[in-house]
Structure 1
């Protein structure tokens, strides 16, 4: 279910890797929740056998361990990691353009013995590494103009006569930043933050028969527009895991460009190697969710209006919720299945809800709502109370999208805002819902 990590972790820019041990490892930047800044001074590694339950390896690498003394107070930006020989090599970058590599005997670190990568060091951000079939190493980096070349890891230098500029450009490919590389069936795929729709909210891809190009733009894989009112960028990767392919991307939260959380969706390759665009979902890799399973409201995959995901508490007390849910705002969840017809719909809500109601729709808002849940004032935004309404719709065993919309009675204050914490459909006697 998306986001895929526990909610207290804000991990964007993710590279997903799976090696011989079968564990899926995630490498990414680390935002600080609620702060108006990108990234922090440490990386965490996450490992999972099923992409549902995650082990956290905290502090696998920190700014204090980078290769340049004067950069040890500079935040760490997007990394990549690859197994090269008997070492796991973490390729890192920093907000000042420094780039380097550090080493570990395990996929989760700690990574040590950092050295710079020349000439990428001080020249850009967002490294990506490919170990080709013949063992050759290819290194990519850059913002607005992607660069790359063959890497000699022993010296930490790119082989000068292989260095290629403008592998991707903003003008031709919509390239903004965040390059990632994979190889499939002899074709090289560059995945990147794509600005061709006005903001770099998309992950686009380009293909080539050679690792250093030329690359032809293939299209968009996913667009995170709608995850937050101020959503700005996207950055991620594609990965083959247990024979299936997935796209890993992030969504911003907290009514900001920041506090970004990693999500994942299945993708399919067509016979010609192209990738069709996929939508953001709540279900992610799991498939449609049982409607009788309590659903955290913050897992909405599309927010309309001024509402956004916010958080309270720390550590085990941390929780996330939909904040600033105002008149006409909508939160969408994709997708749910209904093993039987529900009796009621329950919400946990807080705030100034007197005179307001949440209308519940399946599949769209053109039809009548399947439930209407009247709200009331609570003692404050952190005082969540349960409210419910009868389910009056019909279900057919297919998957359905779920939409929550705030409405009010005549005279209701149009500045009314509430918060939503959980939603759940409740089973019961079918006749009861018709009373």
Structure 2
């Protein structure tokens, strides 16, 4: 399900790679809930054998591991990448001082050590991405507004200046904002990037070439995270092949903030001409549609409309893994949340939800397939006695079977907060 990591982890800018052990590894920035700036000063690595169950490998690198970082306040680390070559894993990173560097490890999850600056002409040093071609030659890409690229020398730490291209793609012609990432499939080089051509940097677009340093031609949009949160601003991710299938890794904002971002993944499909069909954000991700009879956590909505957003609930020290939770909050009249997709099987006839309210409550209208789709029921909600006083509510619905997108449309007083929603499910 999306987001793919447990609720307490905020990992944007994901570069996903399947290494020789068969596992998929994620290298990304690391946001902290509640922060009002981009990224923290550490990286964490996650891996999975099935893209569903993810293991955290702990902190792999911090800004304190960067020798040229000085000062009392640790500098944040921005979008990284990692590549394997000649028995070692190379982590490429950038930070708020406009520097890019590389550190190494004998394992894909670190810790990464011996950080040094990437040497060579290096203007606009942000969001490094690295690619090793079939012949073993490594390339590095970076930049904002103009994507730059060059060969790396055999030491993997130096740019070959004779190969530098300072305008692989740009904002004016290609919508390039930042976040370059390169992959190769069937002899075609795919340059994936944060695309601002729809007005905000919410898209992941792509351009293709027959060589790793271009020329590149813009082909389209792979995914757009617009609508995931009221404050969403950017997107950043990568393509990855896993056991013969291809996926796009991307992130969504949360908590009505452009900073608290979470990694998600969707399957992608290539046409005969090498183009990629744009895919939608879903709750199910790489899994099958969600079982309607199982509890659906409300924070996993793939689309939100209005003021509704996810809200963290800190249950206090000593609660272990149960300490950090989220629900939908700040719900007002005519807001809605979407869940794609839910499997009702042979039929469900009732709806239940866990809600709280310190106000007058309201109503959840259950609609299928679109906000203007088929209404199957309506569940009344009263005041529960507090925003963190939870009660189960239920209602009958029209008998429903098959797979549907589910839209929960919230109704109530014209002005003001109505209720919170923690989870919901359906019954036979």
Q: Give the gaps of 5 or more residues in structure 2.
A: none
Inter-CA distance 122–365: structure 2 relative to 1 (3 Å threshold): closer
1:321 equivalenced with 2:327 (yes/no)? yes
What is the deviation of 1:313? 1.5
Counterpart residue number, 1:372: 378
SS at match of 1:64: helix
8 Å Cα contact 2:360-2:418 kept in structure 1: no
Counterpart residue number, 2:341: 335
CA distance in 1, matches of 2:38, 2:258: 8
Q: Flag the structure with higher strand content.
A: 2
CA distance in 2, matches of 1:27, 1:51: 14
1:406 equivalenced with 2:407 (yes/no)? no
Q: Give the gaps of 5 or more residues in structure 1.
A: 428-435
1:2 equivalenced with 2:2 (yes/no)? yes
SS at match of 1:158: coil
1:421 equivalenced with 2:414 (yes/no)? no
What is the deviation of 1:114? 0.7
SS at match of 2:233: coil
8 Å Cα contact 1:371-1:393 kept in structure 2: no
Q: Deviation digits for residues 252-304 of structure 1, max 9, x if unmatched?
A: 01111111000000000000000010000000000211111110001100001
8 Å Cα contact 2:120-2:160 kept in structure 1: no
Counterpart residue number, 1:432: none
Q: Deviation digits for residues 31-59 of structure 1, max 9, x if unmatched?
A: 00121111001100001111222111111
CA distance in 1, matches of 2:374, 2:20: 52
For the aligned residue pairs, the C-alpha RMSD in angstroms reads 1.5
8 Å Cα contact 1:97-1:121 kept in structure 2: no
1:30 equivalenced with 2:36 (yes/no)? no
CA distance in 1, matches of 2:311, 2:206: 31
Inter-CA distance 378–157: structure 2 relative to 1 (3 Å threshold): same
Counterpart residue number, 1:383: 389
CA distance in 2, matches of 1:118, 1:347: 56
8 Å Cα contact 1:98-1:122 kept in structure 2: no
What is the deviation of 1:320? 1.1
Q: Deviation digits for residues 175-234 of structure 1, max 9, x if unmatched?
A: 000111101111110110000000000000000011111100010000000011010000
CA distance in 2, matches of 1:353, 1:290: 32
Alignment of 1:232-251 (within 5 A): 232-251=233-252
SS at match of 1:133: coil
Inter-CA distance 369–155: structure 2 relative to 1 (3 Å threshold): closer
Counterpart residue number, 1:62: 62
CA distance in 1, matches of 2:300, 2:264: 10
What is the deviation of 1:368? 4.9
CA distance in 2, matches of 1:176, 1:368: 39
SS at match of 1:252: strand
Inter-CA distance 187–348: structure 2 relative to 1 (3 Å threshold): same
8 Å Cα contact 1:100-1:121 kept in structure 2: no
SS at match of 2:265: strand
SS at match of 2:4: coil
CA distance in 1, matches of 2:264, 2:98: 27
What is the deviation of 1:171? 0.3
TM-score computed with the length of structure 2 as normaliser: 0.96
Inter-CA distance 181–67: structure 2 relative to 1 (3 Å threshold): farther
Counterpart residue number, 1:431: none
Counterpart residue number, 1:116: 117
What is the deviation of 1:154? 1.7
Alignment of 1:93-112 (within 5 A): 93-112=94-113
Alignment of 1:135-150 (within 5 A): 135-150=136-151
What is the deviation of 1:391? 1.4
SS at match of 1:360: strand
TM-score computed with the length of structure 1 as normaliser: 0.94
CA distance in 2, matches of 1:349, 1:155: 54
State how many pairs are aligned: 422
1:127 equivalenced with 2:128 (yes/no)? yes
